Structure 1
Amino acid sequence: MTVLDTRPGLTTSGLVLDGQEQVLLCASLFYFRLPRETWADRLAQVRASGYTVIDVYLPWNFHELAPGEWDFAGRRDAGAFLDLAHEAGLSVIARPGPYICSEWDGGALPAWLPLTPGLRIRQAEPQYLDAVRGWFDQVLPLLAARQHGHGGSVVAVQLENELDFFDTADRTAYVGALRDMALAHGIEVPLIACAGQGDAAGATGDVEGVVPAFNFYPSDASAFVEPEVRRYAELLAGRGLPLLVTETNRAHVTLRRLLVSGARVLAPYLQASGYDFGWTPSTGNWGDPGGFMTHDYDFGGYLSPVGEPRPEMVEARVLAAVTRTLGARLARAVPHAADDAYRTDVPTSASPSVLALDGGGTLLGVPNLGDVAGPAVLAAGGGGRRALADVADDDLVVTLRPHSCTLVLRDLPLDGFGLDGTLVLATADLVGAGPDGLVLAAHGPSTLALRSGDGTPVVVRLDAPVPGSPASVDVSDGATTWHVVVQHPQDVTDPDGTRHPAPAGPSGRAAVAHAAATAARITAARLLDLPTRTGVTVRHDLPPASEQVGVLRGRTHYTADVTDVTELLLVGAADLVDLALDGQAQPTRARFGATELVPVDGATRVDATVETWGHPNFDDVRLPAMRMGSLRGIGQVFSVTGREDVHALWTVDGGSQWAGEPAPLRTLGGWSSTRVGQPITYRRRLDVDGTSPYALHVDGLPGSARVHVDGVERLVTATDPWVHLAPGEGREITVTVPHAPGAFGPTTLLRLEPVRGWDVEAQSDHDLLALAGSSAGGAPVDLPLALDPGDERWVDVDVPSGGCSIRFEGTHVRVAVYAHDELLGRVWLDDDARPRFTGGDPGRVWLPAAWNGGTIRLQVRATAGRTDPALVAVLVTPSKE
């Protein structure tokens, strides 16, 4: 008896499941961004989109809450989620990291890893690999037990994530170690590694058995998507591999362009949006350069964070139906350039793509990248292998909708569908075919041409279909008749044959405005007799990092005596830094660790509350707290005990920009020659005493500079233009920059002394959740609630039943919202000190229906700024979960 090998395989036709070749559409869906009570419904929604695969990150630090403290229960039960995916008929590409990015706290790397001396993250370094092994020992058996072919849904496992963005010293050794761990745990499905910027070797280390995949994030309006994608498809085809696009844009106009250019797995990120509960958003380099990720994790995919379908859901079902209908013909197709396939005046591709379908026929992509509809005239050959010379020119005109990609199907033999003849031309999408006929979908009028033999095709003009009322027509050519049904895209069914209602309501910014305008406005509250801190402190000589006192997520409070101090220098303070001098609150600092001078103005005590928004999910050298592995807290704090102007008396080494000695003496940046852009070096000795720390401030630094301190190179950037010198460093310093005539701003050398004697209160996320769950008496209060800068109070608010989107009116307050023993989210209202927020709606907090006990608890902190702090109202909008 022959035993069928059901293990997934990779061929040039893609990821082959149970011997079936088909282009696969994959939606990201993350259990850790959803309440467990919603998992089954969200999986069903993805299934209803027509997508048949989901990709799932598994975040290390979501499951290891502290060193050796593992949690796979409740909403952390990843195995239960994978089992539900299998029950829903969805395959899974599992992505256990160890680094996942995903705009998640630290990219899922535990915050305590950098506390181990000598440990280097994402390197083939023994201490780091031992830590990863501990994680893989937990997660890989969970995946191995749920592999496709073993009664589960996992069809591929991704190792690492976009490693080509990171400076890994020995990529081969590192990825090879991860591969060996996976194999040792019985992973039999394909192992993949995704390249974030097209560097396959950078992502995989060229390790045998690890297949490169690619993440493409072009502008949807780019004219160059097709030639870029074809290049990668051709490179991989030469190795007998498919082009797996593991992340890309969500718009189906772009997905169609990738499809006709050779992609065999299409995994737009993030089609099914989610929500970051707790202290799990990251800080990222999407800002200027820093930014905070919102709790509302949303990039405009076809499902909103609260599960509301969006218009792209319709396009998803259409494209899924096309891939199902064409099946292996499409999966085995070969992409080609089709530069002469059509003419149009609308913005379109610089080099369109056409697929030569297996078994005959072509599929051409005709994009309109502009805002206005316009015609395209198809060439008679259309880039295919057979001409359509018998169809008049006016029949070859296609109206292109704005931001669309029309798929033109030509010369498709119909015998594989149980039909006679050839589909000579279809400008509508072929979403179904079988012995009963053809099913097409189109937003507007389209053209269809059929032929039973080698004679003249029968050309049919198809009117624009109406939602809910498919049109049908019988097309005859001699003795052959084809029954044709034309649907509006809204009427295209899911893989199970179910028709779904069209998504209703606005999306994007319009949805936010609509929600605010229709929300219930609540002003009744209860002001609680509940402290926001314990007040229990531990004395430290120097201020510890938050992670050093057990605050991996949460807040750390610092107090120190600053009598006789005139200026403080903060080095590496992050993320949200609220300072008070003698009880007088200052505006919040959120500068991502950049060094900052703080005038003390005669105060004798400094208090600081430092809240972790999140650890960086990306490695950005421009700001200290944006480096992966950077710690949180107040950082290093120095008293400034001396200043020296060192802007002048730098010797200039311009290399070939002049000849002769002695070298000129100029101000820093001061030199002029015609060789603009060439490196130029400034050198001088600094008057350091050998026992004190110092800091050199280079104001006005353009871009970045290479600075050598006693021969050791450092990078200094305009976003943090400071050179920090430990005792004994800095007698000889050089600054090398591209030459641009004109001096920098002033350059100052500060002599420093560490501020000592700190009383520190650690307030971890567990501590805050315990406080938020405490019973407390209180008094009714009507909003607005006015507070003094620096004040913090607990407030209870009753809310309607069911799932809710919660927003706030107010100014100069930060609000943390708690319910169901969870931090639902944090918002920051109307404050000039607020940094850029990226991702979804920074003002929305989601209260899931299953977590709604009728009351939310708010921790309200007033911030200093241009107006008096006040929480004015709570706005509640029902969510359609």
Structure 2
Amino acid sequence: MTDPSTATVRLGRSGLVLDDREEALLCASLFYFRLPREVWEARLAQVRATGYRAIDVYLPWNFHETAPGEWDFEGRHDVGAFLDLAHEAGLAVIARPGPYICSEWDGGALPSWLALEDGLRLRQAEPKFLAQVQRWFDQAMPLLAERQWGRGGSVIAVQLENELDFFDTHDRHAYLTALRDMAIGHGIDVPLVACAGQGDLIGSTGGVEGVAPAFNFYPDDRSPFVEAEVRRYADLVGAKGLPLLVTETNRAHTTLRRLLVSGATLLAPYLQASGYDFGYTPSVGNWGDPGGFMTHDYDFGGYLSPVGESRSETAEARVLAAFARTLGPALTRAEATSAEALVDATVSTSASASTLVLDGGGTVTGVPNLGDEAGTATLAASGDLPETAIALAPFSCALVLRDLPLAGFGLPGTLRLASADLVGAGSQGLEFASRVPSTIALEGADGVKLVELDAPELGAPVLTEVYSGGDRWTVEVFHPEDVATPDDTLGVISEPLPEPEILTVATRLDLETRSGETTAHEFPPASEAVGVYRGRTHYAAAVDGIAELLIEGAGDIVDLALDGSALPSFAKFGATVRIPVGGASRLDATVETWGHANFDDSRLPGLAIGSLRGLGRVWAIASSEDIASLWTVDGGEQWAGEPAPVRTLAGWSSTRIGRPATYRRALPVDGTSGYALHLDGLQTPCEITVDGVSSIVSPNDPWVHLAPGAGREVAITMSHWPVDGGGATLLRLEAVRDWQVEAQADDALLELSQKDGSGTGIELPLELAPGEETWLDVAVPSGGRSLRFEGEQVRVSAFVRGELLGRVWLDDAARPKFTGGDPGRLWIPESWNTGTVRLLVRGTAGGDRPRLASVSAAATPE
């Protein structure tokens, strides 16, 4: 270990330099909050065994502040212990405390109750929000400060905020300045960075002195244009004397190699070490059309699966790490330029490949094969080396070395050409790695000697001696899976696991699924307003004499019942929904929070960052009026004069498509009632101005809700697109009042899940009525297990040891799109497996009879 008194970290043109060691830094995302504490040490060791020298770690605010003023840094919330283990594992840490982290995590880690505070504006230089951030930083920053690299810890950089260039922060400079000053005030003296999600340097950093820009690149792995884009950003930051830090990007090492040769000195693919969202912690996001639920299984195909399986990219990781380690400062001090060495290729390749001009002599050229078949590339002649064809593996990027002086490695002569990856060099010779035949050219006292070597087999490297006059080199080419890390560890790619065991024996428990304790409210409150930051809220009200309801802003999973008869579930992300009542006298609703929006998307109300959860507002539709006609039309510059035509909404001039037109009219409102304007058939977003106040309305939620007295003057501006079937309806609304509400927060559900109770033994399948829910105990074999469920029209929540493993929703037309990982897998870590899993099973309406057919349990490699 380095003496803490002499340890240093600095940010320079060659990157993040640790203790004066200049080396391209490979960094894996590894999140303590997505793993049981019992596996932290093993996962850190797995990352270390790939040759990666660093991890990046988010600190989610709402994981540690579980309710206002209630802080948790114990057990698996003990981030300090995790950072200490990272240090013991020899891994540096880039810490990312937010306050906003995204990470497809509930609310992007912003506590949901913040939205309840009047006047508070998220991610703005606004006193109320900054005061809340100060409270969080007062907890988080001291933990990081005492664990900085220069103080004997592992933290080498701290990221402020996350991808702020995606968000409409009004004074970016003031906001980032405030965050910077808070961090410095807590003693943070390692580099501060802020990452750009879409390449906007000032949008992400605010141009604040002392906050370095970093970049999140998510290109198409098969795109031929990656290198040119990356070189542009390398040039931009290089002109300021800064390195190109890539704080997030794709997992494939083919792409990472392309970034490396284009000038990146930090490569932090997201998410190489996958994890799992236990509890009510996934988010809702905009990966759908729009809208989608993030899965509990949090996996983008990185080299470690959520349950700890080591995948094939681990070998590629060790090779790239060894390549960067071998070249060291020559690589990080290099200048990126467009390649001139590539003459031709038989496969799809880069439109503008990159070459690094190495410090001290030589070059590295990235030669991608963007296809799935092996091929060749022809390199231009260089001096006395003729044009040379080299082999390219399927979907790969060869890092071709040319003209590298070998004196620095204690070897004679020059490495004139190597199509294999240089993974080691010293007095004993040169070590390479390759999956395909290699071309190696060495120059010594007797000129250039070129050798062609076969592809090595696993466990059987190809060894040869090359002579040029009195100069001699030992050349050994390894299979990538035989390349070791500096501590001589070999990452083992996991073997296929045994077939899962089918579990059909269960106990149906005589336990309540709710407390039944309610409070009275005039209107249905937001879940957060009754203390449900994660969990469920239950509502009930009389609906006698109402023909139809309008529900505004409900989210996330909404289950309604009229006089006890369940309706199909819906998950519309806050979009307005019409519900026929059909003569019923009572409405019951259960609204479950899947998660709060982790991104900011105005297309649906529930996807706006800071949007609240619950039933929203519930209205009785008192009357309905067609108002599609009698709109006056203003075509702006296309306008011919007065009087204005009077047309149906959107029905104007099919020759002027794509040009804006404004439609105006007064609405027949009574001045005392609330109303809702429905733009049925809206095809594109439009701007609606009501009594001088403008907003954008999306086709995903084509409704405008009008307060009493509003709507006497309405203007709708849209790009003209002639369509059939469009229309406009004005609904007069009356609020449904007098609600009974039961708050069932996550801790209340966890408490219920641990109760003892008698039960009846059953054999699966289990059939339920729509809307019925019950507790089941299912015996599970020992060890770590992946659970899967078969059936239809049911939702299952699985609990062990006082933890919610996660939720699955089986075969239901009402189910939204799931994104991010495997929506059907729930993981029981070995250390949590008590031999029984408790299931809360709910039947849903709208399809076949609800049925849980079976549960399977597959071993995991813990």
Q: Do the two structures share a fold, i.e. TM-score over 0.5?
A: yes
Map 1:248-647 onto structure 2 (within 5 A).
Answer: 248-339=249-340, 341-380=342-381, 387-391=382-386, 393=387, 396-453=388-445, 456-505=447-496, 518-647=499-628
Deviation sequence 1:633-664 (CA, Å, 0-9, x none): 00000000011100000000011223121100
Distance 1:676 1:208 in 2: 47
Map 1:56-67 onto structure 2 (within 5 A).
Answer: 56-67=57-68
Deviation sequence 1:495-553 (CA, Å, 0-9, x none): 21123334433xxxxxxxx88xx211110000000000011110100000000000000
Distance 2:683 2:488 in 1: 61
The partner residue of 1:844 within 825, 829, 838 is 825
Distance 1:482 1:682 in 2: 81
Report how far residue 389 of structure 1 moved.
3.0
Distance 1:835 1:405 in 2: 38
Distance 1:695 1:345 in 2: 61
What letter matches 1:556 in structure 2?
T
Residue 377 of structure 1 aligns to a residue whose secondary structure is strand
Report how far residue 5 of structure 1 moved.
5.3
Match of 2:690 in 1: 709
Residue 514 of structure 2 aligns to a residue whose secondary structure is coil
Residue 149 of structure 1 aligns to a residue whose secondary structure is helix
Deviation sequence 1:572-592 (CA, Å, 0-9, x none): 000000000111101111000
Match of 2:861 in 1: 880
Distance 1:313 1:390 in 2: 35
Match of 1:383 in 2: none
What letter matches 2:460 in structure 1?
S
Residue 268 of structure 2 aligns to a residue whose secondary structure is strand
Report how far residue 472 of structure 1 moved.
1.2
Match of 1:71 in 2: 72
Match of 2:749 in 1: 768
What letter matches 1:432 in structure 2?
G
Q: State yes or no: 1:7 paired with 2:2.
A: no
Q: Is the 8 A contact 2:310 2:492 kept in 1?
A: no
What letter matches 2:476 in structure 1?
V
Distance 2:217 2:621 in 1: 48
Residue 346 of structure 1 aligns to a residue whose secondary structure is coil
Q: State yes or no: 1:134 paired with 2:126.
A: no
TM-score, structure 1 normalization: 0.97
The partner residue of 1:676 within 632, 635, 657 is 657
Q: State yes or no: 1:99 paired with 2:94.
A: no
Distance 2:93 2:502 in 1: 42
Report how far residue 342 of structure 1 moved.
2.8
Q: Is the 8 A contact 2:4 2:152 kept in 1?
A: no
What letter matches 1:138 in structure 2?
Q
Give the unaligned 5+ runs of structure 2.
none
Residue 321 of structure 1 aligns to a residue whose secondary structure is helix
Distance 2:317 2:806 in 1: 30
Number of aligned residues: 860
Report how far residue 341 of structure 1 moved.
2.1
Match of 2:200 in 1: 199
Match of 1:82 in 2: 83
Residue 319 of structure 2 aligns to a residue whose secondary structure is helix
Report how far residue 739 of structure 1 moved.
1.3
Residue 99 of structure 1 aligns to a residue whose secondary structure is coil
Match of 1:788 in 2: 769
Q: Is the 8 A contact 1:671 1:743 kept in 2?
A: no
Give the unaligned 5+ runs of structure 1.
381-386, 506-513
What letter matches 1:413 in structure 2?
P
Deviation sequence 1:136-165 (CA, Å, 0-9, x none): 000000000000010100000000000000
Deviation sequence 1:577-612 (CA, Å, 0-9, x none): 000011110111100000010000111000000000
What letter matches 2:337 in structure 1?
H
What letter matches 2:107 in structure 1?
G
Residue 827 of structure 2 aligns to a residue whose secondary structure is strand
Match of 1:756 in 2: 737
Distance 1:563 1:3 in 2: 73
Q: Is the 8 A contact 1:668 1:744 kept in 2?
A: no
> Residues 68 and 502 (structure 1 numbering): CA distance in 2 closer, same or farther, change over 3 Å?
closer
Q: Is the 8 A contact 1:414 1:422 kept in 2?
A: yes
Report how far residue 3 of structure 1 moved.
11
Distance 2:383 2:787 in 1: 58
Report how far residue 124 of structure 1 moved.
0.4
Report how far residue 471 of structure 1 moved.
2.1
Distance 2:521 2:309 in 1: 50
Deviation sequence 1:178-201 (CA, Å, 0-9, x none): 000000000010000000000010
Report how far residue 746 of structure 1 moved.
2.2
Report how far residue 6 of structure 1 moved.
2.7
For structure 1, which segment, 779-788 or 496-505, has the greater mean C-alpha deviation from structure 2 after superposition?
496-505
Residue 410 of structure 1 aligns to a residue whose secondary structure is strand
Report how far residue 402 of structure 1 moved.
1.9
The percentage of counterpart residues that share the same residue type is 65
Q: Is the 8 A contact 1:310 1:504 kept in 2?
A: no
Residue 465 of structure 1 aligns to a residue whose secondary structure is coil
What letter matches 1:474 in structure 2?
E
Match of 2:836 in 1: 855
Residue 591 of structure 1 aligns to a residue whose secondary structure is coil
Distance 2:4 2:816 in 1: 60
Match of 1:510 in 2: none
Distance 1:101 1:522 in 2: 37
Q: State yes or no: 1:657 paired with 2:675.
A: no
Distance 2:491 2:122 in 1: 47
Q: State yes or no: 1:739 paired with 2:731.
A: no
Distance 2:4 2:618 in 1: 69
What letter matches 2:562 in structure 1?
L
Distance 2:594 2:828 in 1: 20
Match of 1:188 in 2: 189
> Residues 876 and 300 (structure 1 numbering): CA distance in 2 closer, same or farther, change over 3 Å?
same
> Residues 79 and 3 (structure 1 numbering): CA distance in 2 closer, same or farther, change over 3 Å?
closer
TM-score, structure 2 normalization: 0.99
Q: Is the 8 A contact 1:6 1:19 kept in 2?
A: no
Distance 1:64 1:860 in 2: 29
What letter matches 2:375 in structure 1?
G
Deviation sequence 1:370-408 (CA, Å, 0-9, x none): 12222211111xxxxxx24334x4xx1112222110111
Report how far residue 339 of structure 1 moved.
4.8
RMSD: 1.2
Q: Is the 8 A contact 1:668 1:743 kept in 2?
A: no
Q: State yes or no: 1:831 paired with 2:812.
A: yes
Report how far residue 4 of structure 1 moved.
7.7
